[in-house]
Structure 1
Amino acid sequence: MNLALLVIDVQRGLFEPQPPPAEADAVVGRINVLSAKAREAGMPVVFVQHERAGDLEAESPGWALHPGLQVAEGDYRIRKATPDAFLRTGLDEVLSFCGVEGLVLCGYATEFCVDTTARSAAAHGYHVVLAADAHTTHDKAHADAAQIRAHHNATLPAIRSFGVSIRALPAGEIAFAA
């Protein structure tokens, strides 16, 4: 199955303010390992950047990708303005052009853009692998980031009604094979 790696909203304006998201450095490291594996297998790597007025204004320092990310020539960039990386973007067209049948998802924020994009990807007919330890968020009043991540790693794979698989696997277990 042709897979693409989708890196969601790993941007300076979301990772640099204090406190950073949970396990921010480890998550960025795991994303870099995944992107290297995807490129080695000849699979597309897509960086999604959220934009909004203020801290994530397009082309502003906060909108920029996290400086720790390893970005390569030939990687794709998608701009979005909603939690859904498919809504009013060219993502589906890029994936179709590349012959992608499944997505490996990682990034920020677990309960917003990662969750929404996972559901939308399945609705668009893509098999989804959630990189279980390569997505993150900030602690919330109702639950800390680890609980939020564990909840989504458990609940998203339980959705079967889209007719495609949704799985959660640790980044180290994810393989990109042509």
Structure 2
Amino acid sequence: MTAAVGVEPAPARAALVIVDVQCGLFDVEPAPADADAVIERINQLSRQARQAELPVIVVQHEQAEGALVHGSDGWQLQPQLQLADGDHRLRKTTPDSFLRTGLDEVLSLLGVEELVICGYASEFCIDSTSRSAAAHGYAVTVVADGHTTCDKPHASAAQIRQHHNATLSNITSFGARIRALPAADIRFD
């Protein structure tokens, strides 16, 4: 397909995917690094997406036992996270937000071609979801300062986030672009 001379192609339809911003993951001691600021950045992006009439998809992790049992206090979304009636909500049981969730079908029905991904945890669900999105053919923007994790014995949360921002944005083998941008540089217009 050839674009007409002087005519800009329409931008890809984007969606914001918010992963695992749940009480059982955020209301712990010690809390995930920069948790309050990460949630505020996510809220700013979700407001922008809604104003641009783009989908906001909220994914919640659940387990058969422990802090994330479906319906438990820990499974609930963190109260600071701002939701809207039109937001789409999905449940998952693996780090991959696409695996057995219907996410790909929802995105297809909504005409989405690009995902902006944020939430928890950098080295698990953000990494897995970003790679899976690219494998499904979606262009991916990881919100570089919009995902977090907790410190680990081998690395601080800041190091883990930095590592995944660098690693994910250097993967080219899927064919779809993956990039990491700070929230302030992401526009939904």
TM-score (norm 1): 0.98
| CA distances 1:41-62 after superposition (whole Å, capped 9, x unpaired) | 1100000000012200001110
Matched position secondary structure for 1:22: coil
Which of 66, 69, 88 is residue 81 of structure 2 equivalent to? 69
Residue in 1 that maps onto 2:124: 112
2:47 maps to 1:31:
no
Aligned-pair distance for 1:66?
A: 0.5
Residue in 2 that maps onto 1:150: 162
Aligned-partner Cα distance in 1 for 2:131–2:112: 17
RMSD: 0.5
Aligned-partner Cα distance in 1 for 2:82–2:18: 11
| CA distances 1:12-31 after superposition (whole Å, capped 9, x unpaired) | 00000111100000000000
Q: Which has the higher contact order (CA 8 A, sep 6+)?
A: 1
Aligned-pair distance for 1:4?
A: 0.4
Aligned-pair distance for 1:107?
A: 0.3
Aligned-pair distance for 1:176?
A: 1.1
Which of 98, 115, 121 is residue 103 of structure 1 equivalent to? 115
Residue in 1 that maps onto 2:8: none
- Please identify runs of 4+ aligned residues in structure 1 that moved more than 4 A: none
| CA distances 1:105-153 after superposition (whole Å, capped 9, x unpaired) | 0000000000000000000000000000000000001100000000011
Q: What is the aligned length?
A: 177
Task: Give structure 2 stretches of 5+ with no counterpart.
Answer: 1-11
Matched position secondary structure for 2:159: helix
Aligned-partner Cα distance in 1 for 2:39–2:26: 10
Residue in 1 that maps onto 2:71: 59
Matched position secondary structure for 2:165: helix
Identical pairs, percent: 64
Residue in 2 that maps onto 1:43: 54
Letter in 1 for 2:174: F
Residue in 1 that maps onto 2:23: 12
Aligned-pair distance for 1:35?
A: 0.2
Task: Give structure 1 stretches of 5+ with no counterpart.
Answer: none
Which of 167, 171, 175 is residue 159 of structure 1 equivalent to? 171
